[in-house]
Structure 1
Amino acid sequence: MKKPLLATEFLDRARENFGEHEAVLTVEGDRLTYDELGDRVDRLSAALQDHGIEKGDRVAVLDPNTHYHLETAYAAIQIGAVHTPLNYRLKPGENEYIINDAGIDAIVCDYDFVDNVDPVREAVDVETYICTDPEQADTDEEWADYESVIDGYDTGEYERPEMAEDEIVTINYTSGTTGDPKGVMRTHRTETIHAYLTAQQNSIASDDVYYWTLPMFHVNGWGHIFAITGVGARHICARGFDPERTFEKITEEDVSYMCCAPTVMNMLIEHWEEHDPQTTGDNDLRIASGGAAPPEATMRTLEDKIGWYFKHMYGSTETGPLIVTSDYNRLFDQDDDSRFEIKNRQGFAMLGTEIDVVDEDGNSVPQDDETIGEIVVRGNQIMEGYWNKPEETEEAFSARREGWFHTGDLATLNEDGMLKIKDRKKDIIVSGGENISSLQLEDCLYNHPAVREVAIIPVPSEEWGETPKAYIIPKNGDPENPGVTAEEITAYTKEHLADYKAVRVVEFVDQLPKTSTGKIQKYELRQTEWDGHDQMVGEG
């Protein structure tokens, strides 16, 4: 028997089995049951159809982590439209590119972010503009009021079309760290399997309480839109991240699970160190990160001092995102410090997923934990391709090994086959013919007591071609008087790593450029350093 895998199943299941139970705590403090959430979704679906939105049309949502985002995602999906979330930190010109590239037909926008859309209205072909609260919006443009829109319809008024599991259901745009953003197409099938993996690997259950620190527009964010809903757990919404409010919600709402970028974890740790808040409610709390692992010092503080359980995973927008994890409890003793050697790795492939690390010719590298290659992957959660970019899609699936997605991340495999990320292609520093991992240097410097945040990039060197430079936000927040000298930073790296890996240039700063999910945008730093120079030695 074959049953189509459809992303509509998650809210359908929650309404059927947990209808009278709380689904969402809104930012405003209202509590919606799954019956109430579903009713609002149905009425928005009817409104969108009445506004001319048909199967295959793209519906954008520009919203922080509120219930409006949850509702818009499901309302679009259950009428066969394509959920297309926008990054609320982008500027109008950046949104113009995405809106036109995706061919957006309707936009549902939070009142705080209408100024990210209004300036480009004449340059885009959007028919329907809906705002969550136009009275609070600073706008001279016409926006339909969200609540008034859905008040005009009854639940069950919309028509759900026939859907197939291989149809596109979401488009998520990459952060554009190496050029214009690319629209990652995901089908009902990939989204469903993605949510299954998220729920299974993160042990998500009906009694979980999930606090939204990760943006819903992020691919891992919307994975939780499906997974948390499908199991009947609770969503705790928040407008942006604030460490004090996060600790308050953890204790007030008995939060049991949240996802955080390393920079968010650092902010939580700093708040805990300064204010000593209560760290859990009635539930134990697990905290997850993705991509490159946070420094070991961060993991130790989270687990040994704050008392949360740390989980690490890895993936990208194109891969679902989750493809590997090191969270395999039988491989380590939770009371033994040696566990961080495993938790610091990206780990083994998840169920139904194959990974490999390959050389330039597409051959597997030795499992010696030293030979670096590119991570390639195949699995049912991998994207369908890039929207309107067939050449880029072909390259992504054929560059070194045909039929595998090429992540652009460089890694090693140990004798057990556990993955360890070393860098992005563009972040490997080739100095005097030696490969230097910027992540290894960053991990080293995060252990320095005077360092709050650090980014390592290659900079031009007449002697070595390129050499490592550290951009450092000092612990005291004062780049003019950081409490440590550049010479001491260099000496520290020499003390802990081979001399050829040492940081040669240091700059203290008060901030670093970041994506909406907290990842440091090294390409901005590289552009500044390499302006007027030839291509970087190690540029992939």
Structure 2
Amino acid sequence: MEGLLKCSVNYVPLTPISFLERAANVFRGRTSIIDGPSVKYTWGETHARCIKLASALSELGMSRGDVVATLAPNVYAMQELHFAVPMAGAVLCNLNTRHDSATISVLLRHSEAKVIFVDQQFLQLAQGALNIITNEKETPPLLVLLPQSDNSSPSSVNSSTHEYESLLESGNSEFAIRWPISELDPISINYTSGTTSQPKGVIFNHRGAYLNSIATFMIHEMSSWPVYLWTVPMFHSNGWSLAWGLAAIGGTSICLRKVSPKLIFERIAEDKVTHMGGAPTVLNMIVNSAVSDRKPLPRKVNIMTGGSSPPPEILSKMEELGFQVHHLYGITEIHGPGTYCLWKTEWDSLPPKEKYELKARQGVQNLCVEAADIIYPITMEKVPADGKTMGEIVFRGNTVMSGYLKDVEATKEAFKGGWFHTGDLAVKHPDGYIEVKDRLKDIIISGGENISTVEVESILYSHPAVLEAAVVARPDNHWGQTPCAFVKLKDGFNVDNQEIINFCRDNLPNYMAPRTVIFKDLPRNSTGKIQKVMLREKAKALGSLF
């Protein structure tokens, strides 16, 4: 067609940096962040600080494509780094604060980070990693120490360490932002939880970050000027993209260094929080909190949860406390949230049990996902939408990662057949909504029947004495495998394994009920997920059932 022209007038690469540029104009006087009693900035101030920080990074020698790492909790500097690092043309790499020094050293070397911003709380952890790198005769990244919680200067600054506020103030307020040359330029690297011998660094690009930021605040039903309480770590998929997305709608971030029910209720009451996020573990923590830790909510608080499917009983109790739960499903490789349980008004009149079973589903693709489906992983054919047939969840679209850092083969394997393969099993219901059933590696095959550990765990969580539960396969000489439940009880409760087994048999088909119950604390990995690999080993060590 004649007359078409692509130029700077009608095409600009998509990047979440533009959210901050707009916020500085549209929301200039609105509060952008509150971090304790001494830190409170507006969007105009945040924009000015990010410009100077980007300039300072440039003066440190950061050039386009260089990696800048962080090791910090949810503090104001983390918000600023999400914008300042890409404004300098560099790539942000947020490291999980639950890792040990050895793991951090591996990730720093793998990412080739040239600078690491470290919160005082994790200085010893970071120093251990830098020492390992030095002992290997390699050059460690420059260390920049973040302020203490009262915004005073860190006490451990030496000649080889930069201090955050001093570094920022050294920047030029007239610095010219280094916009991405292409919207597919990398903006961040997020490491998945796995072995340190083969780290998987997921590369996000500016386009995907821009689009998923929009999708996430839409999923969360955020309008202009929300007040968001940070319980989701910003190091986890860039805070589910909201580290950038809140700037697009003039939101206020409420920082929380430590997640506890008491602090959550305090911040909601004092800061008039409208939205928050959290894994099902956080929801479980809230509903089982001491009455003395709770405060009446000034208004209904929207809470977005993802990860393993929250049991319907947990959803019900959260809403009794005044929370409105939005359920999503995502994975790091698709920038976090990918599907969500879009609520239908016709479901409002359903009986509570049926309503919360529907709410526990993972739903439909978000607006910015091109396609999400359930397929047979071998044949790549779609499973029937019967709510029974299990297949693998797959995605396609602009919010899928660019690839795994330095691992072309792993990227090709993840993208085989024209889809991104999640490794998660789900069913599709006749209305098109998906429901996650398990990880491919976690499914239990007993006498030829597939048992979803998620379904069994959901029943276990509905027992009044159960605080946490995880189910894995135990070898069985007759059935091949049977469910083995690891259970942590609530304080003050004392039940035996037979009561738990009988409860499951009353609420599940007999073949799905655990034949073994072990009471113990559940091991978790660096992202807080239950380490089923360790539990499978424990179940295997028990020997086969006869």
What TM-score results when the alignment is normalised by the length of structure 2?
Answer: 0.91
2:32 aligned residue (17, 23, 31): 23
Correspondences of 1:235-246 after superposition (within 5 Å): 235-246=253-264
1:170 aligned residue (188, 204, 211): 188
Indicate how the Cα distance of structure 1 residues 254 and 170 shifts in structure 2: closer, same or farther if over 3 A, else same.
Answer: same
Match of 2:63 in 1: 54
- Give the SS at the match of 1:83: strand
1:186 is the counterpart of 2:197: no
AA aligned opposite 2:522: L
1:120 is the counterpart of 2:129: yes
Indicate how the Cα distance of structure 1 residues 501 and 111 shifts in structure 2: closer, same or farther if over 3 A, else same.
Answer: same
Query: How far 1:524 sits from its partner (Å)?
Result: 2.4
Query: How far 1:499 sits from its partner (Å)?
Result: 1.0
Indicate how the Cα distance of structure 1 residues 96 and 531 shifts in structure 2: closer, same or farther if over 3 A, else same.
Answer: farther
Give yes or no for contact 1:115–1:138 (8 Å, CA) kept in 2. Answer: no
1:102 aligned residue (101, 111, 118): 111
Distance 1:180 1:529 in 2: 26
Match of 2:318 in 1: 302
Distance 2:60 2:396 in 1: 39
AA aligned opposite 1:486: N
1:525 is the counterpart of 2:540: no
Q: Percent identity?
A: 35
Give yes or no for contact 1:211–1:236 (8 Å, CA) kept in 2. Answer: yes
Match of 1:377 in 2: 395
Match of 1:357 in 2: 374
Correspondences of 1:129-140 after superposition (within 5 Å): 129-133=143-147, 136=154
Distance 1:108 1:421 in 2: 37
Deviations 1:420-441 (A, max 9, x none): 1110011101122221111011
Match of 2:343 in 1: 328
Distance 1:388 1:70 in 2: 27
1:396 is the counterpart of 2:407: no
Deviates more, 1:78-87 or 1:203-212: 203-212
Query: How far 1:94 sits from its partner (Å)?
Result: 0.7
Give yes or no for contact 2:16–2:245 (8 Å, CA) kept in 1. Answer: no
Deviations 1:1-38 (A, max 9, x none): 43310121111111111111111001354211112212
Query: How far 1:201 sits from its partner (Å)?
Result: 1.9
Distance 1:139 1:523 in 2: 41
Give yes or no for contact 1:100–1:125 (8 Å, CA) kept in 2. Answer: no
Distance 2:331 2:194 in 1: 13
What TM-score results when the alignment is normalised by the length of structure 1?
Answer: 0.92
Deviates more, 1:99-108 or 1:222-231: 222-231
- Give the SS at the match of 2:241: helix
Match of 1:213 in 2: 231
Match of 2:360 in 1: 344
Distance 1:237 1:339 in 2: 33
Give yes or no for contact 1:103–1:125 (8 Å, CA) kept in 2. Answer: no
1:442 is the counterpart of 2:460: no
- Give the SS at the match of 1:483: coil
Q: Give structure 2 stretches of 5+ with no counterpart.
A: 1-9
Distance 2:460 2:192 in 1: 29
Indicate how the Cα distance of structure 1 residues 434 and 59 shifts in structure 2: closer, same or farther if over 3 A, else same.
Answer: same
Distance 1:446 1:504 in 2: 17
Distance 1:117 1:524 in 2: 27
Deviations 1:256-308 (A, max 9, x none): 0000111111111122x522732322x431111113320111000111x2121
Distance 1:139 1:470 in 2: 49
Give yes or no for contact 1:84–1:170 (8 Å, CA) kept in 2. Answer: yes
1:487 is the counterpart of 2:498: yes
Give yes or no for contact 1:357–1:413 (8 Å, CA) kept in 2. Answer: yes
1:278 is the counterpart of 2:278: no
Deviations 1:157-203 (A, max 9, x none): 35525532011111100011797431001110010011110122212
Deviates more, 1:354-363 or 1:86-95: 354-363
Query: How far 1:327 sits from its partner (Å)?
Result: 2.6
Distance 1:120 1:506 in 2: 39
- Give the SS at the match of 1:445: helix
Give yes or no for contact 1:292–1:346 (8 Å, CA) kept in 2. Answer: no
Indicate how the Cα distance of structure 1 residues 18 and 254 shifts in structure 2: closer, same or farther if over 3 A, else same.
Answer: same
- Give the SS at the match of 2:418: coil
1:160 is the counterpart of 2:181: no
Distance 1:18 1:467 in 2: 57
Indicate how the Cα distance of structure 1 residues 501 and 186 shifts in structure 2: closer, same or farther if over 3 A, else same.
Answer: same
Q: Give structure 1 stretches of 5+ with no counterpart.
A: 535-540
Indicate how the Cα distance of structure 1 residues 426 and 162 shifts in structure 2: closer, same or farther if over 3 A, else same.
Answer: closer
- Give the SS at the match of 2:362: coil
Deviations 1:366-404 (A, max 9, x none): 111111111111121111111111111011011xxx110
Indicate how the Cα distance of structure 1 residues 148 and 141 shifts in structure 2: closer, same or farther if over 3 A, else same.
Answer: closer
Match of 2:75 in 1: 66
AA aligned opposite 1:62: L
- Give the SS at the match of 1:426: coil
Match of 2:54 in 1: 45
Deviations 1:46-92 (A, max 9, x none): 11111111110000011100001111221111011001100011001
Query: How far 1:459 sits from its partner (Å)?
Result: 1.9
Indicate how the Cα distance of structure 1 residues 127 and 173 shifts in structure 2: closer, same or farther if over 3 A, else same.
Answer: closer
Deviations 1:115-148 (A, max 9, x none): 2221232145334210014865679894211112
Indicate how the Cα distance of structure 1 residues 418 and 33 shifts in structure 2: closer, same or farther if over 3 A, else same.
Answer: same
Distance 2:498 2:265 in 1: 38
Correspondences of 1:423-442 after superposition (within 5 Å): 423-442=438-457
2:85 aligned residue (68, 76, 79): 76
AA aligned opposite 1:377: F
Give yes or no for contact 1:72–1:108 (8 Å, CA) kept in 2. Answer: no
Give yes or no for contact 1:58–1:105 (8 Å, CA) kept in 2. Answer: yes
